[in-house]
Amino acid sequence: MFEEAIHTPILRIYDENAEKHGIELYIKREDLTHPHISGNKYRKLKYNFIKAREQSHDTLLTLGGAFSNHIHAVAYAGHEFGFKTIGIIRGERAEPLNPTLQDALNWGMKIHHISRTEYRRKKEEAFLEALKQKFGEFYLVPEGGSNALAVKGCTEIIGDEEKSFDHLCCACGTGGTIAGIIVAMEGHQRVWGFPAMKNGSFLIEDISKLIKEYNGKQYDNWQLVTHYHFGGFAKFRPELVTFINDFKRRHGIHLEPVYTGKLLYGITDMVKRGIFRKGEKILAIHTGGLQGIRGFNMRFGNILK
Ligand SMILES: *Cc1c(COP(=O)(O)O)cnc(C)c1O
């Protein structure tokens, strides 16, 4: 099923400001984990799929937004590894289906839209029970795939080489990925999370809880940078689009506008502002999710090159 161990490459990014400040900036290409189970989603799903198989489930149910990388990854992994999949999608159905949901449908996912109000009940027992009544038994992969098994999978992002950096930086949605990175770093170096949504500091509690569920520990070598959200989740401003297009031109690496674009924008801005010290080495985790660019361009008119 999922590979025993995969190791993605680390590349140096020659950013003008980083060079000027004597800082070395690197990017870990987690976007290369798998062609369709991209980036951190590969890490987060691995042990959930193994558990589902152990428990002899044949169906996985999960939840997400209409452009969700998580929905996309679950649909493909289910198709590849022989599980039926059900995707509960936030918000009304729009026609034609966007490329994310069209792929999911093509890979056999049963797509079920619910209102945003209904979606907010995602963690309620009664809500999940109603889904069982409707769809039968399933293995529940929570929204964004974040649970203790996802944390375990994300610890595998970190190997010896990754541990040698002074700062590790990662975009956050539900916080499962950074939780795994924090655990793997075992209190060493500094880990920075960049929430993709407005008012992202609520994630401190969510991340701490995920870590606690996983190994019962607490760490204090991490923090969130909450002001590079560009107006909110999946929101953007023209300078973010310009940054992503420039980054592609200069370094040959695609970023997407929801997570990794904001992350790299934030890091390079912090470098400019002198947050990091001369001689330090920074590792940005490219968490993948490039499939989302298609839907973004469809909505906003091919602005990402
Ligand atoms: C899902 C996703 C994230 C967020 O991961 P969490 O574990 O939910 O914090 C970050 N980057 C990309 C590209 C993603 O698809």
Joined together, the tokens standing for residue 187 give 């209190």
**Residue 172 alpha carbon, nearest atom of ligand 1:** 9
Average pLDDT on 241-257 reads: 97
289 close to ligand 1 (CB < 6 Angstrom):
yes
Other CB atoms within a 10 A radius of the CB of residue 206 amount to 16
pLDDT digits (tens, 9 = 90+) for 214-238: 999 999 999 999 999 999 999 999 9
**Which residues does 204 contact at the CB level (< 8 Å), separation at least 6?**
224
The three-state secondary structure class of 233 is coil
In one-letter notation, the amino acid at residue 5 is A
In angstroms, what is the C-alpha Rg of the chain?
Answer: 19
Long-range contact pairs involving 15-21 (C-beta distance under 8 Å, separation at least 24): 15/268, 15/271, 17/268, 17/271, 17/272, 18/268, 18/271, 18/282, 21/271, 21/272, 21/274, 21/276, 21/278
* Residue tagged 């452009």 (tokens): 67
Domains of the chain in sequence order: 10-35+148-300 (3.40.50.1100), 40-145 (3.40.50.1100)
- 171 Cα: distance to centroid of ligand 1 (angstroms): 6
Per-residue confidence (pLDDT) for residue 244, from 0 to 100: 98
Q: What is the pLDDT of residue 1?
A: 87
The confidence score (pLDDT) of residue 232 equals: 97
| Residue 157: closest CA among 254, 24, 33 | 33
Q: Is 87 in the pocket of ligand 1 (CB under 6 A)?
A: no
In the numeric block, the tokens 């610890």 are attached to: 155
pLDDT, tens digit, for every residue of 69-122? 999 999 999 999 999 999 999 999 999 999 999 999 999 999 999 999 999 999
Is 146 close to ligand 1, i.e. is its CB under 6 Å away? yes
**Which tens digits make up the pLDDT trace of 258-267?**
999 999 999 9
Q: How far apart are CA 291 and CA 258, in angstroms?
A: 11
- Give the tokens for residue 135: 């769809």
Which atom of ligand 1 lies at the shortest distance from residue 39's CA? 13
Provide the 3-class DSSP secondary structure of residue 112.
Answer: strand
Query: Beta 10-13 vs 24-29: how paired, if at all?
Result: antiparallel
Nearest CA to ligand 1 atom 2: 173
Q: Using a 6 Å cutoff on CB, does residue 291 contact ligand 1?
A: no
Mean pLDDT of all residues belonging to the chain: 97
pTM greater than the 0.95 cutoff: yes
Q: Quick one: pLDDT at residue 201? A: 98
